[in-house]
């Protein structure tokens, strides 16, 4: 792992140790490669960690979001509010069920949607808005209590896209809440893609406190099949159509092993992010950290820095190229989803100024637990030298 520091530093990377490999190997030597005990164990542990009553595992974060939109009954004629600064999957999960996306703006300095963004969408689209999908961008939470309060008043279901934020906490209704506890929403979707805090290869889950939603997602992830109650043992019925979105025991064994390391992963990410904050401070106002939400304890999945590229006299592509030459990866999270050709063709051009200002400045720097202690120094020194050469 440590030799990574001498090689290329990607913006994110999983950390898999020998005990993770052994956990997977045990499943491979056992009786169940799928629908076995590792799936239940993983779900039980995830429910414990988040404090939610139920965790339903599935094959990806995208599948998790789709299960959530299906389970709540979102469909044609309905609309769902999605912050435009997110990964494609948040919006696509709304389209998969035939509903329409209402893209909302975000705060230019944090990239997070605000309660007023939901309020504005409801004012413009009225009762057609049936869901909102707030995103815990980079591992930091939006004002969920504020969003949930508006959602409740208007009968809007809250599906959190918590893909980035396992292990984070935020100021919820009635005090600090764990991300995924669903204190301020009906469901929270997670991704366990390798760049996320916990890796399954591909994997996802939805947490909820609603037994009916949990049961429905359990059926929908397995074709919509129901087996209970039939007199004949071979009978299964499909009252509604579902998918094969199951996570295998192989994936869940890796996920369970990784969940055991969550605290250490989050702590390490927090320490590295704090070091970046310190090292970048002298470059302010040309480079700034993301605005921090008061009362949040983020589980930094990404370290996003905001660059004044105009002020620095360097384009983003040029900076990324110079960093790459010095062995440092960087990435943009995210291109506003409403500007994607599919959504532009569907809904026309939309002006979202906060998102435009955020997108113009964001660049994600390397952040992952296996980074060496002095890697942030190496990254910031490379940024300084790249900026000086303009």
Q: Least separation, in Å, of the C-beta of 379 and ligand PLP?
A: 22
Is residue 204 within 8 Å of 226, Cβ to Cβ? no
User: Which of the following is catalytic: 79, 196, 349, 388?
Assistant: 196
Interface with ligand PLP in residues 201-220 (CB under 6 A): 204
Q: Least separation, in Å, of the C-beta of 192 and ligand PLP?
A: 7
Residue 135 is a binding residue for ligand PLP (CB under 6 A): yes
Q: Which two tokens stand for residue 345?
A: 């063709």
Q: Least separation, in Å, of the C-beta of 113 and ligand PLP?
A: 12
Query: Which residue lies nearer to ligand PLP by CB, 140 or 191?
Result: 191
Q: Which of 98, 210, 84 is nearest to 157 (CA)?
A: 210
Span from 98-106, 108-116, 160-168, 292-300 in contact with ligand PLP (CB under 6 A)? 160-168
Residue 160 is a binding residue for ligand PLP (CB under 6 A): no
316, burial (CB in 10 Å: exposed 0-12, middle 13-18, buried 19+): middle
- 3-state SS assignment for residue 211: helix
Q: Which residue shows structure tokens 């002006």?
A: 351
Query: Which residue lies nearer to ligand PLP by CB, 135 or 386?
Result: 135
Residue 69 is a binding residue for ligand PLP (CB under 6 A): no
Q: Least separation, in Å, of the C-beta of 82 and ligand PLP?
A: 10
Q: Which of 69, 191, 207, 257 binds ligand PLP (CB under 6 A)?
A: 191
Is position 196 annotated as part of the catalytic site? yes
Can you say how many angstroms the Cα of residue 285 is from the centroid of all Cα atoms in its chain? 28
For β-strands 79-83 and 54-58, DSSP reports them as unpaired
Overall residue count recorded for the chain in this entry: 390
Helices 18-29 and 249-259 meet at what angle, rounded to 10?
A: 150
Instruction: Please state, in angstroms and rounded to a whole number, the distance separating the CA atoms of residues 322 and 318.
Output: 6
Q: Which residues have CB under 8 Å from 289's CB, separation 6+?
A: 276, 277, 280, 303, 304, 305, 306
- Each residue 84-103 as x (binds ligand PLP by CB under 6 A) or -, in order, gives --xx-xx-------------
- Return the residue nearest ligand PLP (CB atom): 61
Q: Least separation, in Å, of the C-beta of 302 and ligand PLP?
A: 9
DSSP state for residue 139 in the 8-state scheme = G
Query: Which residue lies nearer to ligand PLP by CB, 90 or 380?
Result: 90
CB-side neighbour CA atoms (13 Å) of 277: 12
Span from 158-166, 238-246, 363-371, 373-381 in contact with ligand PLP (CB under 6 A)? 158-166
Count of residues that bind ligand PLP according to CB under 6 A? 14
Binding site residues, ligand PLP, CB under 6 A? 60-62, 86-87, 89-90, 135, 161, 163-164, 191, 193, 204
């Amino acid at each position: 792992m440590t030799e990574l520091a001498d090689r290329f530093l990607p913006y994110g990377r999983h950390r898999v140790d020998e005990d993770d490999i052994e956990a997977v190997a045990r499943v491979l030597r056992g009786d169940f490669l799928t629908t076995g005990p590792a799936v239940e164990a993983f779900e039980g542990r995830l429910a414990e960690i988040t404090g939610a009553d139920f965790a339903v595992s599935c094959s990806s974060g995208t599948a998790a979001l789709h299960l959530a939109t299906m389970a709540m009954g979102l469909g044609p004629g309905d609309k769902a509010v999605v912050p435009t600064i997110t990964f494609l999957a948040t919006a696509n999960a709304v389209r998969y069920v035939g509903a329409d996306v209402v893209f909302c703006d975000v705060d230019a300095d944090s990239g997070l949607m605000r309660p007023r963004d939901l309020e504005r969408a409801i004012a413009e689209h009225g009762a057609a808005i049936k869901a909102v999908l707030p995103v815990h961008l980079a591992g930091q939470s939006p004002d969920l209590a504020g969003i949930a309060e508006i959602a409740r008043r208007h009968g809007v279901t809250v599906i959190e896209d918590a893909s980035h934020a396992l292990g984070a906490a935020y100021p919820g209704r009635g005090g600090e809440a764990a991300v995924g506890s669903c204190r301020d929403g009906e469901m929270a979707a997670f991704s366990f893609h390798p760049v996320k805090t916990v890796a399954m290869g591909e994997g996802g889950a939805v947490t909820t406190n609603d037994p009916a939603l949990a049961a429905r997602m359990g059926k929908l992830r397995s074709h919509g099949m129901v087996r209970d109650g039939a007199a004949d043992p071979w009978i299964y019925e499909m009252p509604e159509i579902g998918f094969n979105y199951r996570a295998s025991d192989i994936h869940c064994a890796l996920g369970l092993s990784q969940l055991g390391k969550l605290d250490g992963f989050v702590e390490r990410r927090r320490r590295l992010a704090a070091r970046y904050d310190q090292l970048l401070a002298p470059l302010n106002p040309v480079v700034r950290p993301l605005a921090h939400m008061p009362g949040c304890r983020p589980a930094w999945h990404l370290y996003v820095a905001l660059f004044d590229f105009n002020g620095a006299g360097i384009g983003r592509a040029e900076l990324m190229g110079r960093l790459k030459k010095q062995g440092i990866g960087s990435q943009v999270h995210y291109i506003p989803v409403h500007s994607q050709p599919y959504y532009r063709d569907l809904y026309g051009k939309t002006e979202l100024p906060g998102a435009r200002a955020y997108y113009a400045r964001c660049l994600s720097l390397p952040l992952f637990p296996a980074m060496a202690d002095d890697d942030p120094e190496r990254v910031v020194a490379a940024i300084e030298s790249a900026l000086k050469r303009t």
